[in-house]
Chains A and B, each alone.
Chain A
Amino acid sequence: MSGLFRDSFPFFKENPDSIYFDSASTSQKLKTSIDAMSDFYSKSCSNIGRASYRLSNAAGMRVEEVRSRAAEYIGCEASDVIFTKSATESSNLVCRSFLPVVLHEGDNVLTSSLEHNSAFLPLKTASERAGAHLRVISPGKDDGIDPDEFEKSIDSNTKAAVFTCASNVSSTKIDYTELCRICREKGVISILDATQLLAHKRINVKSLGCDFLFFSAHKMYSLSGCGILYAKREHIDAMEPLLYGGGIVETLSPLSIVSGNRKFEAGSPDVGSIIAFGAALDFLFENQDAIPETERKLCKKLREGFEDLKDKCRLIGKADSEIPVASFTVPGISDYDITSYLGASDISVRSGRMCAHTLFDALGIDGCIRVSLGCYNTEEEISRFFDCLNRILKKFSV
């Protein structure tokens, strides 16, 4: 199968007939990212920030280059970027280290039922610890976040809001720009989950005016082990580290730790994963127009296919999302049965609750089947998927 970017991903050479439609869970990995990690560990392996020999200095500089590139990708300063191990860790860092500073008993925090457990649970836990109330907005009629409902849910005691830039389930576009504007206007701290969005689209955190934003490398064509947290400078200064340990100590007695973003990076970082992410960022920068253009065509084909099946499949969301995701159910047929048959045809899709339990509770369904694409997928693959799905539906007499 041909595709503009396919050759950049070794997985497809090894699995030429396999259809991978689970990029929202983890993306396939660029050869350049894999090679970057492999080269680092085989030729230049060193820790960073501890020793002063050539290898260590060189590794440290490469990590800082990636930090700068990541900052450039989201439109901020390198000093605003914190490396973590994952988006989940980034989310927990904000909720464990920042929210206790601003959240007190009687306050409330706002979120939506579309949130991934990695965004929802840290917030829920933080609000419970503070004796604050958690307000959860139900999905709008289009299975998205209604900005009017969002605004109405804010009062003088609302201190923070966590919301996604793109749902990992619903294919309704999230107007995160408007949600950020509402937060700024109302003086509410905004914490954005950009984990699903940034492989498909760049954003600018300064233009958005958000307070925090987190994402992870492994959904952006790079390897696991590297997460990013963007935080406004004044928040970085106000936050205590989540982890204490090596690399952040200035003096031990009395304890004085480094200032700025580095204070959140105790312990040896996953240098290889960070360097690998640099290679992925290069790819995303080089193709920042070509990727959305390719994915627009894929989204169109996906939407058309589900439109043909609208009497048999119920789509979650109204299919205008900025990311190529489509989640659906077939009334009366188990998601697992459908994905099993798809899997037997070497089509990998996910079924279940997608770590978005709050959404499924709100929708009153047990789970769904999710198709989530990357830039390497092709229209031919989408055709094959729908051919297979139609056969399965016929088998189950749908």
Chain B
Amino acid sequence: MTDTQDKIKKEISGMDDLDLYDYFVSKAISSENKNIRKEKNRIEGCVSGLWVEAKLINNCVSVSTDSDSLVIKGISLCICDIFNGMSLEQVKETEIDFLNGTDLSGELDERRRTGLAKIKDRVLSLSKI
């Protein structure tokens, strides 16, 4: 299940920050609008307005996302692609690190990094249901 993250890493390997922004914005623009902008789906603390809807279907994670920012939406869609289809245990063991070592790793401010990190928390909260 790390294949998806490896695939993303390969796709963005060698890209500078401009290319990375284009990559994530294109991903966001071409994504389906899932109408998940409800208050219960809002991720608190993310300045860009981030919504995440997570479900378990046959014990597999199904997570959708939306954001006011196309850059953040693109990044969070990648995170969702990584988690989709995993079990909760696999999500727990998966570290999201596809931005590490890229030009964007220092560009995202702390609040947005924190907001994106909460996607995993939102998925893992399904275990409490």
Contacts and interface: CB of A to CB of B under 8 A. Distances in A.
Interface residues on B, range: 10 to 19
Given A343-B107, A366-B49, A336 B69 contact: yes
B70 interface: yes
25 contacts: A334-B67, A334-B70, A334-B72, A336-B47, A336-B48, A336-B69, A336-B71, A336-B72, A337-B21, A337-B25, A337-B69, A337-B70, A337-B71, A340-B71, A340-B107, A341-B21, A343-B17, A343-B107, A344-B16, A344-B17, A344-B21, A344-B103, A344-B107, A352-B47, A395-B22
A5 B22 CA distance: 36
Interface of A: 334, 336-337, 340-341, 343-345, 352, 366-367, 395
B1 to A, nearest CB: 30
Interface of A is mostly: helix
A54 to B, nearest CB: 46
Interface of B: 16-18, 21-22, 25, 47-49, 67-72, 103, 107, 112
A344 B21 CA distance: 9
Contacts of A395: 22, 25
B48 A334 contact: yes
A369 B83 CA distance: 33
Given A336-B48, A344-B21, A366 B71 contact: no
A345 B22 CA distance: 13
B51 to A, nearest CB: 14
B108 to A, nearest CB: 9
B48 A340 contact: no
A340 B18 CA distance: 9
Given A336-B68, A366-B68, 12 more contacts: A334-B48, A334-B72, A336-B69, A336-B71, A336-B72, A336-B112, A337-B25, A340-B21, A340-B107, A343-B17, A344-B103, A345-B18
A334 B25 CA distance: 11
A344 B18 contact: yes
Contact of B68 (A334, A344, A352): A334
Contacts of A344: 16-18, 21, 103, 107
Contacts of B72: 334, 336
A340 B73 CA distance: 13
Of A344, A352, A366, A367, the most chain B CB neighbours within 10 A belong to A344
A395 B22 CA distance: 9
A344 B103 CA distance: 9
A344 B108 CA distance: 12
Contacts of B16: 344
